[in-house]
Structure formats: C-alpha cells, structure tokens
Amino acid sequence: MVANDHGAVTGQVATLTVTPSRPVILSQPASLTVALGSPAALSVEALGSTLTFQWRHAGTNLIGGGRITGASTSRLQLAAAELADSGDYVVHLSNALGEETSLPAVLTVLPPTLAEAVDTTGLVWTTGGDSTWGWQAAVTHDGFDAAVSGPLPFAQTNWMETTVTGPVTLGFWWKVSSYASGGELRLSVDGSELASIAGEVDWQPLSVYVPVGTHNLRWEYAKISSYTTGQDRGWWIRSAWWSRFHR
C-alpha cells in the first residue's frame, strides 16, 4: 500500500513461494596457519533448508567439547591449537534433500622457535651440522618443552649455538641418551670444549661463567660410534638461574 496526504492505493497481491533446497556451499572454508597454543577457527557459508553440519579432520568426525566447539555448526573453533591439529579439514552438510562436502581447508600449526623451546627469546640461535636441533615437548625438565638434537648416523654431528656478552653466568639443564662411549653431548666456548656428557644421563644442571666480552657458545651432539642404544640424542633447556653480573 502506498499513501500520501491525498489518499492511498493498494497494489495487486504478489505471492512468495519458498522452495526447500538441498545444501549449497556459497563460501568454502579457508586454509589457516597459527602458532602452537593459539586459537583457530574454520567456517563455511551455505544455503539450504534445515542444514546439518559435521566437521571432519583427517577423515574423522570431530566431537565438540573441551577446547573444540562448533563441530556440528557452520563455524569450527579450537581454543588452543595443538601440533596434532594440523592437517585437512572438511565440513559435511546434509538435509532431507541431499548432501554436500566442502573442499579441504588445511590447518597448519607452527611449533615454537628454538629460542622459545629453550626459554631464551632474547638470544639469536643458529643450528647446523648433519641434522638440526629443534623444539619438542615429549622429553622435558620443566614440564613444557626443550631443545633436542636430530637423528644422526655414525661419525656425524649437529649443533646449536648463540652469542652472549659477558660477564654472565649461564645456568642450564641438559640430558643425553646414547651408547656409553658412542654419543656425546658437548659444550664449547669460543671453540674450546668446556664440558660433555655421554651414555644414559638424566637431566642435570650445569653453571658456566662467561667472562667480559662477546663469546660464542655451542652445544653439539656427536655420534662417535656405530653402536646404537637409547635414543642417540641430547636435550637442552635454560635454567631459571641464568643471570648477569653487574659491575
């Protein structure tokens, strides 16, 4: 009806008919990269009558609860992404008229950097050798994470190193699992070996004084025998008592 000060007129009747529709995806879920422990969300935009949603990760239906919400809605949310959450995600839509499955969206969960693994984000770390050192959370002293040396064949080494300015006392924990005389975890300062452990040695602390000036510190794991026992690698994490002298 259209009206003004001089009167009103009513139009002819128009009929709107709503037809039930099978699921139609308007916007596919987008791939996403997040840091370990960060929230992550994947969503789909779709049309259809009385839609049912089911998110799947690596072919397995997800169930809501805990840190996962929205497993049966258009928006899947992870409160704190874990490394195991990485991979392909699809959402399956259905109603009485049909079904539709989205294209895969890839969630990539990035592990912490080496500096974060050893709790020294203020230092620049480099790695090298025949394999690398990296982050892991399976073997720890503090219940969180630690650096670990990569796998090595006989007569090869790998290392991680950083530069510090003294005077400073460095406190850290280290651990090694190897054949008694076949794998050795070493600490060197400016190219001179200062300490080493070998065999099956559980977490133990070590304190090192670094004098005035800039110095290179290197932790190296060496595979010095063809015999293999244990895990053939070393672990390292900074201690809380890493303190600088003030003069």
Q: What is the mean pLDDT of residues 66-85?
A: 94
Could you give the dihedral angle defined by the CA atoms of residues 121, 123, 126 and 132, in that order, rounded to the nearest 10 degrees? -40
Q: What is the mean pLDDT of residues 51-76?
A: 95
Can you give the pLDDT at residue 222? Answer: 95
122/142 same-domain check: yes
Q: What is the mean pLDDT of residues 166-184?
A: 90
79/144 same-domain check: no
Whether residue 128 is predicted with pLDDT greater than 90 in this model: the reply is yes
47/98 same-domain check: yes
59/152 same-domain check: no
- 80 belongs to a structural domain: yes
124/162 same-domain check: yes
Boundary-marking domain end, from 110, 125, 149: 110
Can you give the pLDDT at residue 240? Answer: 63
Whether residue 208 is predicted with pLDDT greater than 50 in this model: the reply is yes
Can you give the pLDDT at residue 236? Answer: 93
Boundary-marking domain end, from 110, 130, 157: 110
Range 52-59, long-range pairs (CB < 8 A, 24+ positions): 52/93, 52/94, 52/95, 53/91, 53/92, 53/93, 54/91, 54/92, 54/94, 55/89, 55/90, 55/91, 55/92, 56/89, 56/90, 56/91, 56/92, 57/85, 57/87, 57/88, 57/89, 58/87, 58/88
Among 35-49, 68-82, 91-105, 129-143, where is mean pLDDT lowest?
129-143
Q: β-pairing, 32-35 with 105-110?
A: parallel
SS percent in the chain: helix, strand, coil, step 5: 5, 55, 45
Can you give the pLDDT at residue 81? Answer: 93
Amino acid at 232: D
Can you give the pLDDT at residue 243? Answer: 57
227/118 same-domain check: yes
- 200 belongs to a structural domain: yes
Can you give the pLDDT at residue 63? Answer: 94
Domain count, the chain: 2
Whether residue 25 is predicted with pLDDT greater than 70 in this model: the reply is yes
Boundary-marking domain end, from 110, 125, 150: 110
Q: State pLDDT tens for residues 109-125.
A: 988 888 888 878 788 99
Residue 42 CA to residue 91 CA, distance in Å, equals 9
180/124 same-domain check: yes
Residue 24 CA to residue 26 CA, distance in Å, equals 6
Among 85, 83, 84, which Cα is nearest to 110's?
Answer: 83
75/126 same-domain check: no
Are the CB atoms for 70 and 117 separated by under 8 Å?
no
Can you give the pLDDT at residue 115? Answer: 85
Q: State pLDDT tens for residues 222-232.
A: 998 887 778 99
Supply the mean pLDDT for the chain.
91
Whether residue 200 is predicted with pLDDT greater than 50 in this model: the reply is yes
Residue 20 CA to residue 97 CA, distance in Å, equals 8
Whether residue 245 is predicted with pLDDT greater than 50 in this model: the reply is no
- 103 belongs to a structural domain: yes
Q: What is the mean pLDDT of residues 214-240?
A: 89
33/155 same-domain check: no
Q: At 246, is the pLDDT very low, low, confident or very high (cuts 50, 70, 90)?
A: very low
Can you give the pLDDT at residue 26? Answer: 96
Task: Supply the range of the domain harboring residue 56.
Answer: 24-110
CATH of the domain at 142: 2.60.120.200
Q: At 242, is the pLDDT very low, low, confident or very high (cuts 50, 70, 90)?
A: low
Can you give the pLDDT at residue 247? Answer: 35
- 3 belongs to a structural domain: no
